[in-house]
């Protein structure tokens, strides 16, 4: 079993919510960080005092239950609309949060694209570009080069905006069920074996829903 990094979902980041709902966050300079590191997002500066997290023994990870997606409406990179109804069409959805300036995000995108192509119809990968409002063309180029053919969200409101407000680092991947509930732990940072980590996360969600597991991207 590959180790999965975890992070807290800290709520009340009003600044980030407002920015992303209106068109994602501000652009930052490119990153040269190695794959096993993460990029810190703007939401850390908006954390409220008094919020508590459960720290892991190594002091680098924390865990707190995050919000569900609930009702929301989002715009896709292709100009379409994506809502909770699109989540409900699948048993499991992986939401990959990334930015165009995050080196590890860009590096893992081809692996995400390959993983997504091998999934059965009842499981999907949706990416969420947090800075597409200021880098839409760059986001399209990154996804095209990676071969990702799925849906990418660029702005949103409601429960999705609340989830975005709790993202502290990129890349972050969340697993949600058909009701929009976040299940399991967040997957933080670039993974040395992304397929194994993502497959395990999907299977945990499927098992919890009483569904048959997938294996190596096959139905």
DSSP code for 43:
G
- The model's pLDDT over 37-89, given as tens digits with 9 standing for 90+, comes to 455 554 332 323 333 333 333 333 333 444 589 999 999 999 999 999 999 99
Closest CA to 66 of 199, 195, 154, 173: 173
The percentage of the chain sitting over the pLDDT mark of 70, rounded to a whole number, equals 68
Find the mean pLDDT for residues 94-112.
97
Q: Which CATH superfamily is domain 67-145+162-208 in?
A: Glutaredoxin (3.40.30.10)
Closest CA to 94 of 155, 184, 5, 34: 184
Closest CA to 99 of 126, 137, 139: 139
Closest CA to 103 of 26, 31, 37: 31
* Helical (H) or strand (E) element with 110: helix 103-117
Q: What pLDDT, on a 0 to 100 scale, did the predictor assign at position 47?
A: 27
Find the mean pLDDT for residues 183-196.
94
Domain boundaries, the chain: 67-145+162-208
Q: What is the pTM of this model?
A: 0.72
Written as six digits, the tokens of 194 are 């992304």
Lowest pLDDT segment from 14-23, 59-68, 93-102, 164-173: 14-23
Closest CA to 208 of 187, 188, 179: 179
What's the CA gap between 190 and 57, in Å, rounded?
A: 21
Q: What pLDDT, on a 0 to 100 scale, did the predictor assign at position 133?
A: 84
Q: How confident is the model at residue 14 (pLDDT cuts 50, 70, 90)?
A: very low
């Amino acid at each position: 079993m590959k180790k999965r990094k975890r992070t807290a979902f800290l709520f009340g980041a009003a600044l980030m919510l407002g920015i992303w709902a209106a068109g994602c966050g501000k652009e930052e300079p490119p990153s040269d960080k190695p794959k096993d590191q993460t990029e810190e997002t703007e939401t850390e500066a908006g954390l409220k005092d008094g919020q508590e997290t459960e720290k892991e023994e190594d002091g680098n990870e924390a865990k707190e239950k995050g919000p569900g997606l609930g009702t929301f409406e989002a715009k896709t990179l292709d100009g379409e609309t994506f809502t909770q109804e699109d989540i409900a069409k699948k048993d499991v959805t992986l939401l990959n949060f990334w930015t165009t300036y995050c080196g590890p995000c860009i590096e893992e995108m081809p692996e995400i694209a390959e993983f997504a192509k091998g999934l059965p119809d009842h499981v999907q990968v949706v990416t969420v570009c947090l800075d597409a409002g200021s880098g839409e063309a760059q986001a399209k180029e990154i996804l095209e080069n990676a071969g990702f053919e799925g849906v990418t969200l660029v702005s949103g409101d409601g429960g999705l905006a609340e989830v975005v407000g709790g993202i502290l680092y990129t890349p972050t991947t969340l697993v949600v069920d058909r009701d929009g509930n976040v299940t399991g732990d967040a997957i933080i940072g670039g993974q040395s074996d992304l397929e194994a980590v993502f497959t395990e996360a999907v299977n945990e969600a499927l098992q919890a829903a009483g569904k048959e597991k997938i294996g190596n991207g096959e139905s």
